[in-house]
Chains A and B, each alone.
Chain A
Amino acid sequence: MAEPKLRVLMVSDFFFPNFGGVENHIYYLSQCLLKLGHKVVVMTHAYGNRTGVRYMTGGLKVYYVPWRPFAMQNTFPTVYGTLPIVRTILIRERITVVHGHQAFSTLCHEALMHARTMGYRVVFTDHSLYGFADVGSIHMNKVLQFSLADIDQAICVSHTSKENTVLRSGLPPAKVFMIPNAVDTAMFRPADVRPSADVVITIVVISRLVYRKGADLLVEVIPEVCRLYPNVRFVVGGDGPKHVRLEEMREKHSLQDRVEMLGAVPHSRVRSVLVTGHIFLNSSLTEAFCIAILEAASCGLLTVSTRVGGVPEVLPDDMVVLAEPDPDDMVRAIEKAISILPSINPEEMHNRMKKLYSWQDVAKRTEIVYDRALKCSNRNLLERLSRFLSCGAWAGKVFCMVMIIDYLLWRLLQLLQPDDDIEEAPDINFLH
């Protein structure tokens, strides 16, 4: 049996059975890397009673380490608590590259730190945007600076996200790669028979109904569009704290028969909701990439979106209508979308999306980043400490202390349980 080219460990707090952009990204990237002949292992925290080792499609091995999430699906930050299990997994699976995902995953930050201490090559993918003004952001940015101070290569999902990450972490821009998300075009294909847009035009919204996703904009935009176009109806999928506001809007303007509220839509049903519509409306206030737009475009829907974060980079100009995040401009954008709707051919759009985005392409580009990471020279502890020291007057010293203690703990673990005592897992290739 052929030896795998690379052995990659993906680390993040966010993985299946949870659903979202990061979870999707890790899953599809891992699948494609497996097909390219690499070995991929995923490490995440326990979900409910799902702990221990599981295998997913294509022999993707997942370690659900027995740490409970404490807030927003994050494990409690213990700094050193995960060192033993990370070390065991790294040695057991003979890992060569550690790839962490998402800036607010504590498990990811801890694993990256331990991996660096043990001399592994690390790559980090940032999936989100952060401001610089509030206390939460300042704290997160400092943590990110610590995690990325000694990283080999970093990946961002859009050019805007790259600018943001470079500013937040102080990494040289040449070390940060832009590799976008992609969409499973085989799963998101247009309906065989597209509902006619002559009688009723359906506008679909699928997002969590929270402030950041612009649910308040929807409350302003939907009645106005309904007033202007008697033949438009809305389908709103998703749940969240702003659900009540939308319901109120619906009652206030007597739009019960024209605005359908579906509640939470599981990811497996997203396609069946999308194909009932003609226009997809995204009202996010901040977005690093926005996979929802890709899914809609892949189903042949024309997209109307707010011009925020990385959204303008996602689709060619003729596939999306962008608007400033204020109700009047969004209504204008929807008007424009309705006027160009007859020229949209869903099948053609789907075929274009197949060329524009594919996970295989993402995996190949990620492979290049791994190769670059492997070519980086490995420095000893003292050289690395100087990098942490330059992170700030106080923070630099604290970071150094954290790293030194981590190094000592690692040495202690090596004494207690030598590397040779850890059994190596056999490589099983499921693809043949």
Chain B
Amino acid sequence: MDKNLPGDSTPPRPKWRKVAYGGMQIGYDDNYTDETFLEEMVMNANVVRRDLLKAMKDSVSISQYLSIVALVVLVWFHTLESSLDEHSLLLLDLSLLALGFLVLLLTEEKMLSFTLLCRYLVNITFFTTGLYILAPVYQTLTRSISSDSIWAVTVCLLLLHLFLHDYSGSTIRAPGALLKSPSLTSCISVNASIVASVFVASRLPSRGHVFAVMLFSLQVFLFAPLVAYCIKKFSVGLHLGFSFALMGLTMYSVYVLHRLFFVLFLVLVVVVNVVCPYWLIRMQEYKFEINGPWDEAKLCFDITD
């Protein structure tokens, strides 16, 4: 600026100040915009840069659970087709229970005490007995409703279950784990899956079938997320291996059942594990955050105490 050079006829005007008092500043209109305008604006200050590999790794949890649900549906299908009898189903239930229990035991940091073990056994006994007594009720629950409606509702409930499922944690907590109340959506999700199991069980021919299928579904829907969560917490490598094994098993079983379903499932897994993470990373560059002195101040202490 050459306004202060000697010989300049206009007197040097006072420096503009960013103040509101004292009326209109001499030499400056009210719409004067200084170079300091928007100087304090900060862009994208809190943006977290994500990388593709991590996003893909995290998405494995989702496809793992998709496989689990697909396997449950396969078991339902085979039971309804009578290609799985109730004895092998009960055997499956027992082995799953034992396996799950073993995983919990092995991944737990502290050793289980004898009393806790007894409590587990008592709980399981109560649970199975209750289910066995209620089996006849489940069997006749929806007799007056047509099968088509039941299938339609079951599919909807399963979709709701998948949509609201808590993929990052587990709705059911291990005993002694830090109690953080599960969110409403994950509770709705668990309930949707249980209702879907009851509906499917009510189409089965015998009381034994109903009991076996109900036990199986409840075991998987309630405890599979917990087991998967424990494995993931224990070791990420094991988690990935377990997930890929499950996905492989599911793909094989679906392939045997129907080609079209296999293709659909494959596409779904690819979308979840590759396309969506890539898309997320691509969209990061459109992130545009503006902060400045006009933002509401955040309190640096907890106000709920």
Q: How far is the CA of A316 from the CA of B18 in the complex (A)?
A: 11
B289 close to A (CB within 8 Å) = yes
Known: A159-B20, A286-B296, A316-B21. A175 touches B289 (CB 8 A): no
Q: How far is the CA of A220 from the CA of B305 in the complex (A)?
A: 11
**A356–B18 touching, CB < 8 Å:** no
* Cβ distance A320 to chain B, nearest Cβ, rounded Å: 10
- Residues of chain A in range 150-167 having any CB-CB distance to chain B below 8 Å: 157-161, 163-164, 166-167
Interface 1/0s, chain A 175-193, versus B by CB < 8 A? Answer: 1111110000000000000
A140 close to B (CB within 8 Å) = no
Q: Out of A173, A308, A310, A368, which one reaches B297, CB within 8 Å?
A: A308
Instruction: Find the B residue at minimum CB distance from A165.
Output: B294
B116 close to A (CB within 8 Å) = no
**A163–B294 touching, CB < 8 Å:** yes
**B38–A163 touching, CB < 8 Å:** yes
* Cβ distance B278 to chain A, nearest Cβ, rounded Å: 24
**B30–A131 touching, CB < 8 Å:** no
B248 close to A (CB within 8 Å) = no
Interface 1/0s, chain B 11-40, versus A by CB < 8 A? Answer: 000000011111110000111010001101
For residue B291, which residues in chain A have a CB less than 8 angstroms away from its CB? 132
**A357–B294 touching, CB < 8 Å:** no
Instruction: Find the B residue at minimum CB distance from A297.
Output: B21
For residue A325, which residues in chain B have a CB less than 8 angstroms away from its CB? 297, 299
Q: Out of B21, B31, B40, which one reaches A357, CB within 8 Å?
A: B21
**A313–B19 touching, CB < 8 Å:** yes
**B296–A285 touching, CB < 8 Å:** yes
Instruction: Find the B residue at minimum CB distance from A220.
Output: B301
Query: How many residues from B make CB contacts under 8 Å with A?
Result: 29
Q: Out of B33, B294, B303, which one reaches A286, CB within 8 Å?
A: B294
Interface of B is mostly: loop
**B19–A361 touching, CB < 8 Å:** no
A130 close to B (CB within 8 Å) = yes
Q: Out of B19, B30, B289, which one reaches A179, CB within 8 Å?
A: B30
- Residues of chain B in range 100-149 having any CB-CB distance to chain A below 8 Å: none
Interface 1/0s, chain B 263-299, versus A by CB < 8 A? Answer: 0000000000000000000000000011111111111
Interface size class of A (residues with CB under 8 A): 35 or more
Known: A159-B18, A327-B301. A133 touches B289 (CB 8 A): yes
For residue A178, which residues in chain B have a CB less than 8 angstroms away from its CB? 20, 30-31
Q: Out of B20, B292, B293, B299, which one reaches A285, CB within 8 Å?
A: B299
For residue A310, which residues in chain B have a CB less than 8 angstroms away from its CB? 20
Q: How far is the CA of A285 from the CA of B301 in the complex (A)?
A: 14
A31 close to B (CB within 8 Å) = no
* Cβ distance A76 to chain B, nearest Cβ, rounded Å: 27
Known: A163-B292, A212-B296, A365-B30. A173 touches B21 (CB 8 A): no
**A167–B296 touching, CB < 8 Å:** no
Q: How far is the CA of A120 from the CA of B287 in the complex (A)?
A: 39
Q: How far is the CA of A369 from the CA of B294 in the complex (A)?
A: 24
Instruction: Find the B residue at minimum CB distance from A357.
Output: B21
For residue A175, which residues in chain B have a CB less than 8 angstroms away from its CB? 31
A235 close to B (CB within 8 Å) = no
Q: How far is the CA of A157 from the CA of B296 in the complex (A)?
A: 17
Known: A163-B41, A175-B31, A178-B30. A306 touches B297 (CB 8 A): yes
Q: How far is the CA of A75 from the CA of B290 in the complex (A)?
A: 30
A135 close to B (CB within 8 Å) = no
**A356–B21 touching, CB < 8 Å:** yes
**B299–A314 touching, CB < 8 Å:** no
**A365–B24 touching, CB < 8 Å:** yes
For residue A159, which residues in chain B have a CB less than 8 angstroms away from its CB? 18-20
B300 close to A (CB within 8 Å) = yes
From B18, B41, B291, residue with most partner A Cβ within 10 Å: B18
- Residues of chain A in range 100-157 having any CB-CB distance to chain B below 8 Å: 129-133, 157
Q: Out of B21, B23, B24, B41, which one reaches A315, CB within 8 Å?
A: B21
Q: How far is the CA of A358 from the CA of B22 in the complex (A)?
A: 9
Q: How far is the CA of A129 from the CA of B296 in the complex (A)?
A: 9
A415 close to B (CB within 8 Å) = no
Q: How far is the CA of A393 from the CA of B59 in the complex (A)?
A: 32
Interface 1/0s, chain A 330-356, versus B by CB < 8 A? Answer: 000000000000000000000000011
**A286–B299 touching, CB < 8 Å:** no
**B296–A174 touching, CB < 8 Å:** no
Q: How far is the CA of A368 from the CA of B23 in the complex (A)?
A: 13
**B299–A130 touching, CB < 8 Å:** no
Q: How far is the CA of A310 from the CA of B21 in the complex (A)?
A: 12
**B294–A309 touching, CB < 8 Å:** yes
Known: A167-B38, A173-B33. A180 touches B295 (CB 8 A): no
Q: How far is the CA of A173 from the CA of B295 in the complex (A)?
A: 20
Interface 1/0s, chain A 192-221, versus B by CB < 8 A? Answer: 000000000000000000001010110110
Known: A163-B37, A174-B33. A361 touches B297 (CB 8 A): no
CB pairs A–B below 8 angstroms (15 shown) = A132-B291, A161-B294, A163-B292, A163-B294, A164-B294, A167-B292, A173-B31, A175-B31, A177-B29, A178-B30, A178-B31, A286-B296, A308-B293, A313-B19, A368-B30
Nearest 5 CB-CB pairings of A with B: A180-B20, A325-B297, A129-B294, A164-B294, A286-B296
